[in-house]
Amino acid sequence: MSRIGKILWFIVALWAVICLSVIAVTLSSMLPQSGLNKKSELGLVTIDGEITTADQVLEEIQTLRKDDEVKGIVLRVESPGGAVAASQEIYQALEQMRADSFPVVASFGNIAASGGFYAALPAEHIFADPGSLTGSIGVITQFMHGEKLMDKIGIEAVTITSGALKDAGSPMRAPRAQDVAYFQGVVDDTYQQFLESVSKWRKIPIDSLRPIADGRVFTGRQAKALRLIDSLGGQQDAVKWLTKRCKLDAVPDKLETAEPPKPFLRDLMDGLGAVVPAGLRNKVHVLWMTP
């Protein structure tokens, strides 16, 4: 076969595989699911790592809530905390689910502290392993300045502002007393919000909460004694609790997730990787442009 003929054969074969894959995916989505592929009645949402944005967590929660087959959600927390507003947005989503009587149980992994603890507060029940690290009820902000270094090497910064506090926290100069007072006010108000939320959901008076809300972390066992969590146990214990709460017949083997969908072509090519012969795959090179 000539080289041109081989190329044409390759194009036709690849097109046939693509068409068959699209047809198979379409048909599988239209057919009723078998018992083995039955969707779970419990969903799983994970807060993983530092909380800088709530977008993905909120999207996953919303997707699972719209699924009529999902009766409750396990919130798995593996986070040391993060941004205040992002933590509060997740908190507010759980708070709304409590108001709607939609069951949510929280499960703390290695660490669920500060914003990670804050976000999970409205859950109906909170589980933590005895060695989980949680708590860290507090707020911090910090910055550094290089004024002395700049003086030493002869660099001077000129700053023009519309108000005395517009450049508060600038790395170009040492903070003034009014700067420190200004930032302390912001931190104190944010801390008070944190205290009020913990007091509300953990049923602990603020005066009793303050002595332990100094930024320190606790083990899961310590947190249980301080009433910051409800029970000691892992994710499977949380699943069993939620199964009973939702009055399901049996503990599900898996939890339903709502991962962000892949772009269609990327999803298709991932599928092709499993059906295209290895010898043919090795002759195909695909360049992706991603944001």
Q: Over the stretch 51-100, which tens digit does the pLDDT of each residue have?
A: 999 999 999 999 999 999 999 999 999 999 999 999 999 999 999 999 99
Same domain for 251 and 107: yes
Same domain, 114 and 221: yes
Task: Please say if 21 is a catalytic residue.
Answer: no
CB–CB of 256/42 below 8 Å? yes
| Same domain? 89 vs 224 | yes
Whether residues 162 and 186 fall in one domain: yes
In terms of domains, do 130 and 145 share one? no
CATH number at residue 98: 3.90.226.10
User: What SS3 class is residue 280?
Assistant: helix
Of the residues 40, 79, 87, 114, only one is catalytic, namely 114
pLDDT digits (tens, 9 = 90+) for 29-49: 554 444 445 678 999 999 999
Clarify whether 166 is annotated catalytic.
Answer: yes
Q: Which of 166, 244, 254, 262 is catalytic?
A: 166
Domain count across the chain: 3
pLDDT band at 151 (very low <50, low <70, confident <90, very high): confident
Predicted pLDDT at 21: 66
Mean pLDDT of the chain: 84
Q: Are residues 132 and 168 in the same domain?
A: no
> In a 3-state reduction of DSSP, which class is residue 70?
coil
Together in a domain, 287 and 252:
no
Q: CA 27 to CA 24: how far, in whole Å?
A: 5
Q: How far is CA 16 from the centre of its chain?
A: 40
Quote the domain boundaries for residue 222: 40-136+216-260
Could you tell me if residue 268 is inside a domain?
Answer: no
